[in-house]
Amino acid sequence: MGSFQAWTGNKNVAYVIKMRLYSWERYEPLKVTKTGIAIAKFFGEGATIGTGRDGNSVSRFTRRCIVSGLVARGAQVLDFRMLPSQALRHGIVSQNLDGAVYVSFYRDEVQIHVYGRDGRNLHAEGLLKIREQVGDASDESCTRNEIGSLMQYTNGIDDYVDHLLSIASRKMARKMLVDTQADPISLVVEPLLQKMNIDYRIFNPMMMDSGALRGREEFMDELKLGKYDAGVIVERDELLGVTLIDGEGKKVQFGSFEEMIKRLSRDSDDAR
């Protein structure tokens, strides 16, 4: 399927390292629909599956094709629309879903991530099983009564902001520069920092389509010149985590934005 990374060399490598179902450089709507069918087969008849996407137009079209495949196998789809993948993962658990699919456009590739009911990336064995089922979906059809359903859920971002506020027991900084790298995570970061009364500026705010990002060197220059207490770099690929840069230039890595808030709050509580 396009430039499917898992089939270069050892077919397990890209699954285990990247934990994403597919990544390709060309938009292939028929194959994406078959992918949705295969995902629905994996989760089972009548499963409730969440969907979400970033702001790129090709992500929107890809998600629609996936939904077509999901409902063709009778899945009940709860569409969270545009939001960061972290918020969708939280929504899986809070809404008691069987799993979810997230579509993003990153580094000139369309990427599809699949999450289990615990909100974590689906295990490698599950991804391999879905991939194997795609080839069996060529003649798939269903009656009108067998088609699943699609419902919109528009509170995903608000729910996640409230969740982060519930675990934040300290103000992270007085003034903060945050590089969201044009990702929808900015839709969470902005209201969160506003409610925490933190003076902030978003570096590389979210864009509705692809465009050039400002570089790390420029970020570091602005961090110093702007007299910020801290800087945060949220990677577009959620598997790469978050980097916190304190006022002295020290860098600390975290697995996610949520983990950063938890750790800072815990350290603050321990220091009391």
φ, ψ at 28 (rounded to 5°): -125, 85
Q: What 3-state DSSP class applies to 67?
A: helix
Q: What 3-state DSSP class applies to 71?
A: helix
User: What pLDDT does 157 receive?
Assistant: 97
User: What pLDDT does 186 receive?
Assistant: 94
User: What pLDDT does 6 receive?
Assistant: 34
Query: Cβ of 229: how many Cβ atoms within 10 Å?
Result: 16
- pLDDT digit string (tens) for the chain, length 272 residues: 333 333 223 344 333 335 567 666 778 888 899 999 999 999 998 999 999 999 988 899 999 999 999 999 999 999 999 999 999 999 999 999 999 999 998 877 888 999 999 999 999 899 989 988 887 766 778 888 889 999 999 999 999 999 999 999 777 889 999 999 989 999 999 999 999 999 999 999 987 565 678 899 999 999 999 989 999 999 887 777 899 998 788 999 999 999 999 888 876 555 44
Show the tokens assigned to 76: 């009940």
pTM for this entry: 0.87
Burial class of 100 by CB neighbour count within 10 A (0 to 12, 13 to 18, 19+): buried
Cα→Cα distances 186→31, 161, 191, 249, Å? 31, 11, 9, 23
CA dihedral 10, 11, 14, 15 (to 10 degrees): -140
Q: What 3-state DSSP class applies to 141?
A: coil
Give the domains, in start order, of the chain with CATH numbers: 5-154 (3.40.120.10), 158-271 (3.40.120.10)
Report the largest interatomic distance among the alpha carbons of the chain, rounded to a whole angstrom.
64
CB 171 within 8 A of CB 224: no
